[in-house]
Structure 1
Amino acid sequence: MTSSDITLEAVSSISQIAAADWDACATSRADPGDLQELDTLAAARQPQPPCSTSVTTYNPFVSHAFFSALEKSNSACARTGWGPRHLVARQHGGVVGIVPCYLKSHSQGEYVFDRGWADAYERAGGQYYPKLQASVPFTPATGPRLLIRDSSDTGRIGAALAGGLVGLCDATNASSVHVTFAKEREWNFLAGRGFLERTDQQFHFHNAGYRTFDDFLATLNSRHRKAIKRERRDALANGITIHALTGADITEDAWEAFYEFYMETGSRKWGRPYLTRAFYSLIGETMAKDVALIMAKRDGKWIAGAINFIGSDTLFGRHWGAIEHHPFLHFEVCYYQAIDFAIARGLKTVEAGAQGEHKIARGYLPQTTYSAHYIADPGFRRAVADYLTHERAHVAAAVRELTEAGPFRKGDIHSTHEEPD
């Protein structure tokens, strides 16, 4: 596939892309949100300025090391239904853009649910699988999906990648392309190229410059403030201690314990956990500085833990597990310790993973998430487009209502007209 001097290729393993090239695209200052503006300039035949005003942010989930760990550990591979088809754009011999992409034979491990679409299409005589998934496997975290190296040709590279996804859909006989947990401005850009727009919601903590956890508590109404204090106290009532491990502090012993938690809890929740034991060792070797492993210990033994990944301004909570169950320990390990960590590190946001309205009472507010979908069959596309129109309206209303029902004090957060704790 070609677009003028930009050539496109799909590769079947991340090992076929040099880590330096991948990470230069993943950490570029080229903001996909500028794509539409650059396209407009190109259409007017005006010079296209480089995206020098964008701020470089680090998202560990789009790093070469993370995808490499997924693929090398056989967590994301053809055997598990995640066949790599990473789309690579080259210009003048160099890699200038990448879309992490997988050819899927099912809809598991994605967190943007389309099983209803698959059932409807197959009842109508269509074949929904294979499909293409442009995402980070098993990871419901917002991040860039069109990875573009700093360039004055950002708009053309982005357009080539978007067109390349459609071309790859045709070449693989896939029914559709799903770009999930994208940045909002990427979502808008893809919508301009025929992709359907979908929204959902997660619950995120926003750090309003707090110096301590108590500063955060002071912004809550009395009922929620008291409840959180009680939950934190009760979570540690049985002699449990909490340990935040990062970098070299995360030993293989800690990984072994955490994997036991993951398997025990994941088997109950999902039937078959997605990640292999080797994945955690690889992460420990290549990304330990990007990991915050929150572990709970009782009587000298690890009993529960949650894994978080550290970005430049965001702490990404992923999954947790436990072999002993104590009241409120889940909330302490997953939510309150994450807030503590973010405040201590000066991180702006904690993304607490998929779903869970119970997070609202603990200071995590609704946040809209975005995905873009290309449907090859015109008739099926019209049906999905109609469904998404109604779904977006429902999501927007839910975000408004849940935000209004949040635990924060109304009006002046410094008001003292409340019952004392």
Structure 2
Amino acid sequence: MTSQVFTSIAAIDAEKWNALVEPGNPFMRHEFLLALEETGCIGPNLPWQPRFVVANQGDAYLGAVAAFERSDSYGEYIFDWAWANAYAEARLPYYPKITVAAPFTPASGRRLLLADAADNETLATLVHALDQTAHDLDASGIHMLCMTRDEQKDLADFGYMPRLTHQYHWLNRNFSSFDDYLSVLRAHRRKEIRRERRKCAELGLRIETLAGDAILPRHIDAIYVFYAATYARKWGSPYLNRETFHALLRRMRENLVLVIASENDREVAGSIAFRSDDRLFGRYWGASGHYPYLHFELCFYSLIEYAIREKIAIFEAGAQGEHKFQRGFTAMPVYSAHKLFDRGGSAAIGEYLRRERRATARAIHAYRSASPNKDEPQYLPEPEDR
């Protein structure tokens, strides 16, 4: 078995790469990464520089990792700015670092892509290749974000420290309709959601959910305008450009879901989500003006209706946002793993992570206990997080 590091996804066989990606993980697929690369969102001399690792035996791909050399931490959503500041105060370089993640996307899934999930030899080959890449770049460490719990456990044997954060996901409990979903909520939350939808309806907008061939280039243009306006208002420069959205339409049309609000046949707001067979991922939204309650309709309620209709099991609506919890989204653990090469830095961050894991486990338990869902399952933390 050998390993090779690629600086472009275009140089990697798309069919062989995609064969390693588990179902339900559109953001690790070749076409998603290629859309980012061909439109200048990732690539040489950019903050996300590809260092894709492939383990192969002859022509067969046995495993792969979508790794990136990073010069900052923007677009990661598992925040480590405080670590970078601590390194700077200690006069230690934190950048470059290696990040293994779906760029600009806080969606969970496998990060160590294996043809055989039980293939420990290929796993070790990928991990050692990442170590070598990090050392060749003089990187401060390696960070694997939004991974599975099984992967996190496996990486403990290679010196990675576990991290626990959380998001809010909507879980489809075999609902047959939106009213069926409302029926599991406590009375005051049912009343509030119905009031929000009624107020939104009173705006007089036409709201439609589009997927597949129903999505036209003009819809994508509108979504980009809304997205860019939201970033300009809240955070500054957007990560993606107009060409990226059109590349995603060309390459991943079957994975896109749009909710568009129109007034007098003109698009005034919209949201974009990605889907797989059993998962829905809300990503971006925006509006051309102030429309009360429209955000909840386009980003949550219409997509919940879509998930129920399509029998999608889980709807991940993105990072953060306690407003999701109030609408019946469940607090869910999110797993990451981190290796820092400086001993002092590793020890300090390791102690921080131990405290953070316990605090996060308590928070998830508290959210579950106070959930507006009447039948919310109890959260059972890992033994080391209690």
Q: TM-score range by the shorter chain?
A: over 0.9
Query: Which amino acid counterpart does residue 314 of structure 2 have in structure 1?
Result: T
Match for 1:14 among 3, 6, 9?
9
Aligned to 2:84: 118
Aligned to 2:150: 185
Please show how residues 381-420 of structure 1 align to structure 2 within 5 Å: 381-409=346-374
CA contact (8 A) 2:112 2:123 kept: yes
Aligned to 2:316: 351
Aligned to 2:382: none
Aligned to 1:201: 166
Please show how residues 122-271 of structure 1 align to structure 2 within 5 Å: 122-150=88-116, 154-271=119-236
State how far apart, in whole Å, the 2-side matches of 1:76 and 1:93 are.
27
2:295 counterpart of 1:330:
yes
Q: TM-score, normalised by structure 2?
A: 0.95
Could you give the per-residue CA deviations for residues 5-40 of structure 1, whole angstroms, max 9, x where no partner exists? x2111110001101011101113xxxxxxxxxxxxx
1:128 offset after TM fit, Å?
A: 0.6
Could you give the per-residue CA deviations for residues 231-250 of structure 1, whole angstroms, max 9, x where no partner exists? 01111212112111111111
State how far apart, in whole Å, the 2-side matches of 1:209 and 1:149 are.
31
1:406 offset after TM fit, Å?
A: 1.2
CA contact (8 A) 2:152 2:335 kept: yes
Query: Which amino acid counterpart does residue 19 of structure 2 have in structure 1?
Result: A
Could you give the per-residue CA deviations for residues 40-94 of structure 1, whole angstroms, max 9, x where no partner exists? xxxxxxxxxxxxxxxxx23211110000001111112234311110111111332
2:286 counterpart of 1:310:
no
Q: Secondary structure at the match of 1:139?
A: coil
CA contact (8 A) 2:184 2:375 kept: no
State how far apart, in whole Å, the 1-side matches of 2:237 and 2:27 are.
22
Aligned to 1:60: 26
Q: Secondary structure at the match of 1:214?
A: helix
CA contact (8 A) 1:247 1:291 kept: yes
State how far apart, in whole Å, the 2-side matches of 1:154 and 1:317 are.
33
1:276 offset after TM fit, Å?
A: 1.0
Q: TM-score, normalised by structure 1?
A: 0.87
Match for 2:56 among 87, 90, 98?
90
State how far apart, in whole Å, the 2-side matches of 1:126 and 1:361 are.
42
State how far apart, in whole Å, the 2-side matches of 1:171 and 1:311 are.
37
Query: Which amino acid counterpart does residue 172 of structure 2 have in structure 1?
Result: N
2:268 counterpart of 1:293:
no
Could you give the per-residue CA deviations for residues 220-275 of structure 1, whole angstroms, max 9, x where no partner exists? 11100000001011112121121111111111100111100001001112111000
CA contact (8 A) 2:168 2:321 kept: yes
Aligned to 2:328: 363
CA contact (8 A) 2:257 2:274 kept: yes
Aligned to 2:383: none
State how far apart, in whole Å, the 2-side matches of 1:242 and 1:406 are.
29
Give the direction of change, closer, same or farther, for the CA distance of 1:382–1:243 in structure 2 (3 Å limit): same
CA contact (8 A) 1:244 1:293 kept: yes
State how far apart, in whole Å, the 2-side matches of 1:115 and 1:312 are.
35
State how far apart, in whole Å, the 1-side matches of 2:44 and 2:334 are.
28
The percentage of counterpart residues that share the same residue type is 39
CA contact (8 A) 2:69 2:98 kept: yes
Aligned to 1:75: 41
Match for 1:272 among 237, 240, 248?
237
State how far apart, in whole Å, the 1-side matches of 2:201 and 2:95 are.
47
Q: Secondary structure at the match of 2:91?
A: coil
Number of residue pairs matched?
376
Q: Which runs of 5+ in 1 are unaligned?
A: 1-5, 28-56, 412-421
Moved segments of 4+, more than 3 Å = none
Q: Secondary structure at the match of 1:97?
A: strand
State how far apart, in whole Å, the 2-side matches of 1:58 and 1:403 are.
25
Q: Which moved more, 1:345-354 or 1:74-83?
A: 74-83
1:410 offset after TM fit, Å?
A: 6.2
2:18 counterpart of 1:23:
yes
Give the direction of change, closer, same or farther, for the CA distance of 1:98–1:410 in structure 2 (3 Å limit): closer
CA contact (8 A) 1:239 1:299 kept: no
State how far apart, in whole Å, the 1-side matches of 2:362 and 2:108 are.
21
Match for 2:74 among 108, 113, 118?
108
1:356 offset after TM fit, Å?
A: 0.3
Aligned to 1:49: none
Query: Which amino acid counterpart does residue 43 of structure 2 have in structure 1?
Result: C
Q: Secondary structure at the match of 2:247?
A: helix
1:325 offset after TM fit, Å?
A: 1.7
Could you give the per-residue CA deviations for residues 125-152 of structure 1, whole angstroms, max 9, x where no partner exists? 111110011001000000110111248x
Could you give the per-residue CA deviations for residues 267-305 of structure 1, whole angstroms, max 9, x where no partner exists? 112111000111111111111111111111112111111
Cα root mean square deviation, aligned: 1.3
Could you give the per-residue CA deviations for residues 371-404 of structure 1, whole angstroms, max 9, x where no partner exists? 1011011111011100000000010011011111
State how far apart, in whole Å, the 1-side matches of 2:279 and 2:38 are.
26
Query: Which amino acid counterpart does residue 182 of structure 2 have in structure 1?
Result: L
CA contact (8 A) 2:55 2:61 kept: yes
